[in-house]
Amino acid sequence: MRIKLVESWYNAEEGVSYAKINTDYGEFEGYAMLHDEDKEIASRYAGCQYAETRAVLKYMKNRIKILAFQIKALINCQKQMEGRAAYNPQSVEGRALRKQIYILQAEREDWQSRYKSLHEKLYFAMDNRQMVVEKMIADNSKKGD
């Protein structure tokens, strides 16, 4: 997995952050909008980070979808082979096909788990940003005393 940030910007007037990433599966874009209740803690860095995370989530979703297509194709191939009179489930080919299906299913489950974890992390960060900013302000005022 190779992810490279290609472009990122923040439009303060509209409160929009944007990020574009380049991956082994192409380019993906993500956006983040500043909500009215968050205007006093607006941050170009947080907004661009949220946008980049959304782009990564799109990449992950695409990768999961491609794995699902690959698994479906191999299962269809396996069904075709099973329909033959000369089919031997213990043949080298049959075993290799089942192993490849198993490997792809495990990989898909791993990506689904990563997607869910990153998605939850993004929304946790957005929900708790107000508390984090308030804690940073409080810590800085203690240092100044």
Q: In this structure, how many other beta carbons lie within 10 angstroms of the beta carbon of residue 17?
A: 27
Instruction: Provide the pLDDT for residue 94.
Output: 92
Using CA atoms, how far apart are residues 17 and 45, in angstroms rounded to an integer?
A: 9
Nearest to 55 by CA among 100, 4, 14, 103: 4
What confidence tens digit (pLDDT) does each residue in 132-145 have? 767 766 777 776 55
Instruction: Provide the pLDDT for residue 144.
Output: 59
What type of residue is 96? A
Residue 131: pLDDT band by 50, 70, 90 thresholds?
Answer: confident
What confidence tens digit (pLDDT) does each residue in 83-128 have? 998 989 899 999 999 999 999 999 999 999 999 999 999 989 888 8
Instruction: Provide the pLDDT for residue 74.
Output: 97
Instruction: Provide the pLDDT for residue 99.
Output: 97
Quick check: 51 and 19 in contact, CB under 8 A?
A: yes
Nearest to 26 by CA among 58, 74, 49, 69: 58
What confidence tens digit (pLDDT) does each residue in 34-93 have? 887 777 777 888 889 999 999 999 999 999 999 999 999 999 999 999 999 898 989 999
Whether 30 shows a pLDDT value over 90: the answer reads yes
Instruction: Provide the pLDDT for residue 138.
Output: 74
